[in-house]
Chain A
Amino acid sequence: MKISSNWLYDYIDTDLSPEELADILTHTGLEVEEVTETGFDFDGIVVGKVISAEKHPNADKLTLCKVDVGDTTLPIVCGAPNVAAGQTVAVATVNSELPIILDNGKRLKIKKSKIRGEVSEGMICAEDELGLGENHDGIMVLDNELSAGLPLSEVFGSDLDHVIEIGLTPNRPDASCHIGCARDIAAVTGDELLLPEATFSPEKSDLGDRIKVSIKDTDKCHRYVGLMVVDVTVQESPDWLKKRLSAIGLRPINNIVDVTNYVLHEMGQPLHSFDYDLLNSKHIIVQSFDKETEFTTLDDVSRKVPSGTLYICDGDQPVALAGIMGGQNSEINPDTKNVLIESAWFEPVGIRKSSKKLALQTDSSYRFERGVDPNLTLRAAVRCAELIAQLGDGTILNGVVDTHPVKLETRKADLRFQRLTDILGTEIERETTVGILQRLGFECEGTDDLVSCTIPSWRPDVNTEIDLIEEIARIFGYNNIPNPDHLIIRDIRPIPLRERFKEEVRHAAQSLSYREIYTNSLLPESFAGALENPDSLVATLNPITKDQALMRPTLTYGFLRSVTYNANRKANSLRFFEIGNVFEKADRGTYVDGVRERTMVLLGVAGVKNHEHWYAGKQEDYQIFDLLADVDGFLKKLELGEYWINRESNTNLSICYGSRKKPLLLAQVSYADKKLTKITDTEIPAFTAEFDFEVLLQLKEKQKAKKYTPIPKFPAFEFDLAVVVGSDVPAGDMIKTIKGTAGNLLSSISVFDVFEGKSLGEGNKSIAFRMQFLSNEKTLTISDVDPIINTILTELGKKYQAALRS
């Protein structure tokens, strides 16, 4: 919202600069985003007399002038066709700046120069060059009476202004106008607030023969005031009015429309003016229709208007969208003679709904939906009528229609002084407290303990004691409230395990050389096509783009997107991890009905593991075994105990904990899903391990307190066992069998060799296990281990037809 500083000075008599005013506004809660200078102060522009004007010796279209500017005579080269000796003109002297903005954003600065060999020390200005009009036909010729050297600001008056851009919070409709802002400033400075005075006081109901008003939807329109100004001349607004409106970014239209806009930005009451003669029935009916209608607003847009939208009608004929925008059919036009002024109070929620449905927000709807002062309706109409009559040479009809079906109750709130001190943590003197409230328009009646306040009608946001406390605090100044020199902290509670463990997980991943990524939780619509069961996806109802249509059910998509992003930029050796929430539909929601939301942890590798290197060797791509090694290290680091692996498919393993019968599924480790690599354009090999953080946490919670295990006293006995077995027998199953048969002396097992070859026979492979046996009681020897190996061999033979490799 734009506020003009010159306009503000109409209501507060103060020496404060525009910047100082802006600073006060910011500190009362009307945050100033920017202060920009507009207009022009004619600094360095003076009246000059052209003493002589001769043709430039080297240029046909230029004239050499000598110009008396009071204290001296300047040589000026002028290009205007109409320049002549004897003229009184406006001269921009050297170093002055004109309101012409150059490409570099700066104003044109007049310099001493040589033009085609002739010295020129200034510029004789045209009207447009001084921002005084549009005319550029030639230089501006002034009244001969003006004396040379007179500053031009004394002729035209400086129109320098400052535009204060305020980011208005939705609770402050009262401040959406100049008087509202001035009131806050005056409350801080203690200056008197100067309000415009009305001289006209209408007699009620005297307009009955000219216009009738009925309100059908009294829940949506609480009051409708009409005033009439007759015999007006529609014309351009005077300079002062045009400047006011232009300063705050409004385009002047004509004296009638400009006045309604002026009063809106002065007092905050949206107004509308109708051409009275274009109203056929002379009966204004405020009503809505229960079907969709079509209506052309005065911006020449034909709109489909949903049923239930409140209209101002001329009989049954809509003439305005109530509180939003007028209609083309009754618009003020150059021939308008008689004007009907509308000033009304519309209910905020209704206006907000309509404005949203129509996708049409106007200065008017903006204020109605926040709440206009219900006691302003008549006053603003009178102000508007007076100005229209004055600027349009019209006459205000002595009468008013004032339909006021819903009257406002006076609102009151009490402020306890003790409560004020308790909440703010400092004591503000009673006199100061009451003074602030009174300057803001509250009527106060005090006792020893509390002050009882009548709330001004323009403050719909103030209803209770806490609202009064805020009023006092913001005018007193937040920065004036003393800061305590200490803080009391009692009952310190532990950091929850969930948080501590999440950081542990993050640390574990990082320590395994993974880089953390943050990916978008919103996925494009196309993602659904890559899923077997898209029905379980949670969708957004109103995304502004299809790229944000779905909530992620997995972290893999985001990982692959990041892989592709980097691969496209020549980074093809990637190790990423992410901790984030995923979403899916579920019968029993986690937090909200129907949605399961949980935290997942992803470890992913992609592309090249080693680039070709003189020492490290040939280039090698990542394999799933690299990721599995990291998964193993990751789980060891988290100290969650023994896990086991279940082969789900050729490209997918599950990591499980607990018993085989009731396994706790912890993670999926797999080749990146083909459909996902396709929609993410992933072209380099990628592997993912996605862990359910909630399960990790469950395991962590079950973990017993850590205890030291003594280091083995005796050395381990190592035994290598190579067997020949069918190629399709999974090593994982064999290891499971070995572990199951070996007993508790077996301390570790690994595979050190796997190969297929003709010597083994078609469809066979050799697999070599290295086992370590360990006892706490003695140093094991071959005689201790041999029987175990035999049992293992028998079992492997039975289950997998495995034979000892000779």
Chain B
Amino acid sequence: MKKSDIQELIQKIESFNAKSHEDLEQFRLKYLSRKGRIPELLAKIGQAAKEDRAWMGQQLNKLKQLANHKFETLQEELTESQASSFNAREDITLPPAARDIGSYHPLTQTLQEMKSVFFRMGYTIADGPELEDDFHNFTALNFPPEHPARDMQDTFFIRKDEENPANDQVLRTHTSPVQIRLMKQEKPPIRAIMPGRVYRNESITAKSYCLFHQVEGLYVDKGVNFAELKQTLISFAEQVFGKGIKYRMRPSFFPFTEPSLEMDIWWETETREGQWMEILGAGMVHPNVLRAVGLDPEVYSGFAFGMGVERITMQRYGIDDIRLFYDNDVRFLEQF
């Protein structure tokens, strides 16, 4: 027996292919059965020269392993491919029962993303009541009594005190009153966002609802300036809407900030022509607001911003009816 004979056998076994169990049986008989080629060769080791026995034994054992492995593999393959009948309830193409899955409301998802952006920028978070008094919702925010600025937001009143309007109670029209609570509670540097539900006494339509959600932001410290405010807002817009977003800032008016601004981003989709869309309002905290909470505006300055969670969510997903958020139609919820 020569090494080349064994090599030849290895090649033959490796390239063997069985189309049926009959073929495979032939393979077994030819190589592995008692009278097969491999046992035959093994039996001949004893007849070989002494110095050859070691390598022959080694080689033949390897050969035997190879043949056995080949046989098992082919047998499995044939069995699998030929299994044609199964029990009706073992049909693995039968559809499984639907699994209930949980989900976060789309507004929560937007909010979570906004939070993560501001947390990265070192902001913490605060909250306050939805039912507020006049002082926190208006007066401390530099809304003079009987000022047209109060008409900017249709207000739900809970209590009216004709003698002392500062005792009026309202459903907060914005999250800005939390600024006041926070500044009264903590010492600068204050750096926090204040998300929450706010109310407007408006009829319910596709465009407006009697409530919505805002995220307020506040940063008060020594030396806080308008340029930093701009950079913060740009950074926010780029993180949420994508780097390279086109934006503009234009002067606006809120009684509690000055200078005030609104930020627009350029928004276009495949189906919609490009246009400027307002995403937030912001400004430098008005000195009167700082005074109202006992901070000296000559020492401290700050900026504040506020944005609508619904508005941003609607924009991102192309949602055109605000009521969808509150109907809770599962066909809507399961899309998020």
Q: A residues touching B (Cβ–Cβ < 8 Å)?
A: 26-29, 31, 169-172, 348-349, 352-353, 369-370, 422-426, 464, 466-467, 469-470, 473-474, 478-479, 481-484, 487, 489-496, 498-499, 503, 506, 509-522, 538-545, 547-548, 551, 562, 565-566, 569, 571, 573-577, 580-581, 583, 590-595, 597, 610-611, 613-616
Q: Decide if B201 touches A542 in the complex (CB within 8 Å).
A: yes
Closest B residue to A571 using CB positions? B330
Q: A27-B251, A473-B251, A489-B191 are in contact. Are A516 and B286 (CB under 8 A)?
A: no
Q: Which 3 A-B pairs have the closest CB atoms?
A: A425-B227, A29-B251, A425-B225
**A57–B206 alpha-carbon span in the complex (Å):** 57
Q: Decide if A516 touches B251 in the complex (CB within 8 Å).
A: no
For the residues of B in contact with A, the DSSP-based class is mixed
Q: A349-B146, A498-B127, A521-B211 are in contact. Are A542 and B334 (CB under 8 A)?
A: no
Choice from A424, A464, A503, A519 contacting B226 with Cβ under 8 Å: A424
Task: Return chain B residues, CB-CB under 8 Å to A520.
Answer: 210-211, 326
Q: Chain B nearest CB: distance from A537 CB in Å?
A: 11
Interface pick from B14-22, B30-38, B70-78, B116-124: B116-124
Q: Chain B nearest CB: distance from A359 CB in Å?
A: 13
Chain A CB within 10 Å — which of B125, B157, B221, B250 has the most? B250
Query: 17 interchain pairs (CB within 8 A)?
Result: A423-B225, A423-B259, A478-B250, A478-B261, A482-B227, A487-B228, A495-B124, A496-B126, A518-B105, A520-B211, A541-B157, A548-B201, A566-B328, A576-B328, A591-B129, A592-B169, A615-B96
Choice from B122, B146, B329 contacting A489 with Cβ under 8 Å: B122
**A557–B169 alpha-carbon span in the complex (Å):** 24
Q: Decide if A540 touches B253 in the complex (CB within 8 Å).
A: no
Q: Decide if B252 touches A31 in the complex (CB within 8 Å).
A: yes
Q: Decide if B252 touches A512 in the complex (CB within 8 Å).
A: no
Q: Decide if A513 touches B148 in the complex (CB within 8 Å).
A: no
Q: Chain B nearest CB: distance from A643 CB in Å?
A: 22
**A129–B130 alpha-carbon span in the complex (Å):** 58
Interface size on B, residues (CB 8 A): 88
Q: Decide if A517 touches B105 in the complex (CB within 8 Å).
A: yes
**A484–B169 alpha-carbon span in the complex (Å):** 41
Task: Return chain B residues, CB-CB under 8 Å to A370.
Answer: 148
Choice from B133, B156, B251 contacting A543 with Cβ under 8 Å: B156
Is B83's beta carbon under 8 Å from chain A?
Answer: no
Closest B residue to A590 using CB positions? B129
Q: Decide if B259 touches A544 in the complex (CB within 8 Å).
A: no
Interface pick from B39-47, B58-66, B231-239: B231-239
A484-B231, A614-B89 provided; 4 other pairs, C-beta below 8 A? Answer: A422-B223, A466-B284, A492-B191, A614-B94
Q: B residues touching A (Cβ–Cβ < 8 Å)?
A: 89, 94, 96-105, 107-108, 112, 119, 121-122, 124-133, 146-149, 151-152, 154, 156-160, 167, 169, 171, 189, 191, 197, 199, 201-204, 210-211, 221, 223, 225-228, 230-232, 234-235, 248-253, 258-262, 284, 286-287, 301, 325-331, 333-334
Closest A residue to B286 using CB positions? A466
Choice from B171, B204, B253, B328 contacting A171 with Cβ under 8 Å: B253
Task: Return chain A residues, CB-CB under 8 Å to B210.
Answer: 520, 522, 548
Task: Return chain B residues, CB-CB under 8 Å to A491.
Answer: 189, 191
Choice from A29, A494, A540 contacting B124 with Cβ under 8 Å: A494
Q: Decide if A425 touches B226 in the complex (CB within 8 Å).
A: yes
Q: Chain B nearest CB: distance from A496 CB in Å?
A: 6
Closest B residue to A173 using CB positions? B148
**A545–B156 alpha-carbon span in the complex (Å):** 11
Q: Chain A nearest CB: distance from B248 CB in Å?
A: 6
Q: Chain A nearest CB: distance from B161 CB in Å?
A: 10
Q: Decide if B156 touches A542 in the complex (CB within 8 Å).
A: yes
Q: Decide if A422 touches B225 in the complex (CB within 8 Å).
A: yes
Closest A residue to B249 using CB positions? A478
Task: Return chain A residues, CB-CB under 8 Å to B103.
Answer: 510, 515-516
**A518–B104 alpha-carbon span in the complex (Å):** 10
Task: Return chain B residues, CB-CB under 8 Å to A349.
Answer: 146
Choice from B104, B250, B262 contacting A510 with Cβ under 8 Å: B104
Q: Decide if B234 touches A483 in the complex (CB within 8 Å).
A: yes
Task: Return chain A residues, CB-CB under 8 Å to B151.
Answer: 170
**A497–B152 alpha-carbon span in the complex (Å):** 35
Q: Decide if A519 touches B328 in the complex (CB within 8 Å).
A: yes
Q: Decide if A591 touches B128 in the complex (CB within 8 Å).
A: yes
Q: Chain A nearest CB: distance from B238 CB in Å?
A: 12
Choice from A516, A590, A591 contacting B105 with Cβ under 8 Å: A516
Q: A170-B152, A545-B203, A595-B169 are in contact. Are A513 and B158 (CB under 8 A)?
A: no
Q: A425-B225, A519-B326 are in contact. Are A353 and B102 (CB under 8 A)?
A: no
Q: Chain B nearest CB: distance from A623 CB in Å?
A: 15
Task: Return chain B residues, CB-CB under 8 Å to A490.
Answer: 189, 221
Q: Decide if B262 touches A496 in the complex (CB within 8 Å).
A: no
Task: Return chain B residues, CB-CB under 8 Å to A29.
Answer: 250-253
Q: Decide if A483 touches B231 in the complex (CB within 8 Å).
A: yes
Q: Decide if A610 touches B146 in the complex (CB within 8 Å).
A: no
Task: Return chain B residues, CB-CB under 8 Å to A514.
Answer: 102
Q: A483-B230, A487-B235, A489-B122 are in contact. Are A615 and B97 (CB under 8 A)?
A: yes
**A541–B169 alpha-carbon span in the complex (Å):** 10
Q: Decide if A473 touches B259 in the complex (CB within 8 Å).
A: yes
Q: A29-B252, A171-B253, A581-B130 are in contact. Are A506 and B230 (CB under 8 A)?
A: no
Q: Decide if B225 touches A424 in the complex (CB within 8 Å).
A: yes
**A517–B103 alpha-carbon span in the complex (Å):** 9
Q: Chain B nearest CB: distance from A281 CB in Å?
A: 33
Q: Chain B nearest CB: distance from A477 CB in Å?
A: 9
Chain B CB within 10 Å — which of A348, A487, A590 has the most? A487
Task: Return chain A residues, CB-CB under 8 Å to B231.
Answer: 483-484, 487
Choice from A513, A547, A590 contacting B102 with Cβ under 8 Å: A513
**A547–B209 alpha-carbon span in the complex (Å):** 12
Q: Decide if A353 touches B146 in the complex (CB within 8 Å).
A: yes
Q: Decide if A569 touches B326 in the complex (CB within 8 Å).
A: no
Closest A residue to B255 using CB positions? A171
Q: Decide if A369 touches B225 in the complex (CB within 8 Å).
A: no
Choice from B101, B189, B211, B227 contacting A481 with Cβ under 8 Å: B227
Task: Return chain A residues, CB-CB under 8 Å to B131.
Answer: 538, 551, 583, 591-592, 595, 597
Closest A residue to B154 using CB positions? A544
Task: Return chain A residues, CB-CB under 8 Å to B258.
Answer: 466-467, 469-470
Q: Chain B nearest CB: distance from A407 CB in Å?
A: 23
Q: Decide if B201 touches A422 in the complex (CB within 8 Å).
A: no
Closest A residue to B169 using CB positions? A592
Q: Chain A nearest CB: distance from B165 CB in Å?
A: 13
Task: Return chain B residues, CB-CB under 8 Å to A575.
Answer: 100, 102
Task: Return chain A residues, CB-CB under 8 Å to B147.
Answer: 170
Q: Chain B nearest CB: distance from A515 CB in Å?
A: 5
Closest A residue to B202 using CB positions? A544
Task: Return chain B residues, CB-CB under 8 Å to A426.
Answer: 227
Q: Decide if B124 touches A487 in the complex (CB within 8 Å).
A: no
**A487–B123 alpha-carbon span in the complex (Å):** 12
**A520–B171 alpha-carbon span in the complex (Å):** 13
Q: Decide if B330 touches A540 in the complex (CB within 8 Å).
A: no
Q: A470-B258, A478-B230, A498-B127 are in contact. Are A26 and B250 (CB under 8 A)?
A: yes
Q: Decide if B260 touches A470 in the complex (CB within 8 Å).
A: yes
Q: A473-B226, A483-B227, A581-B130 are in contact. Are A170 and B149 (CB under 8 A)?
A: yes
Q: Chain A nearest CB: distance from B194 CB in Å?
A: 11
**A616–B171 alpha-carbon span in the complex (Å):** 48
Q: Decide if B253 touches A170 in the complex (CB within 8 Å).
A: yes
Choice from B102, B286, B287 contacting A511 with Cβ under 8 Å: B102
**A565–B330 alpha-carbon span in the complex (Å):** 10
Q: Decide if B125 touches A496 in the complex (CB within 8 Å).
A: yes
Task: Return chain B residues, CB-CB under 8 Å to A470.
Answer: 251, 258-260
Task: Return chain A residues, CB-CB under 8 Å to B199.
Answer: 521-522
Q: Decide if A542 touches B157 in the complex (CB within 8 Å).
A: yes
Q: Decide if A493 touches B124 in the complex (CB within 8 Å).
A: yes
**A490–B123 alpha-carbon span in the complex (Å):** 10
Task: Return chain A residues, CB-CB under 8 Å to B167.
Answer: 593
Task: Return chain B residues, CB-CB under 8 Å to A551.
Answer: 131, 158, 171
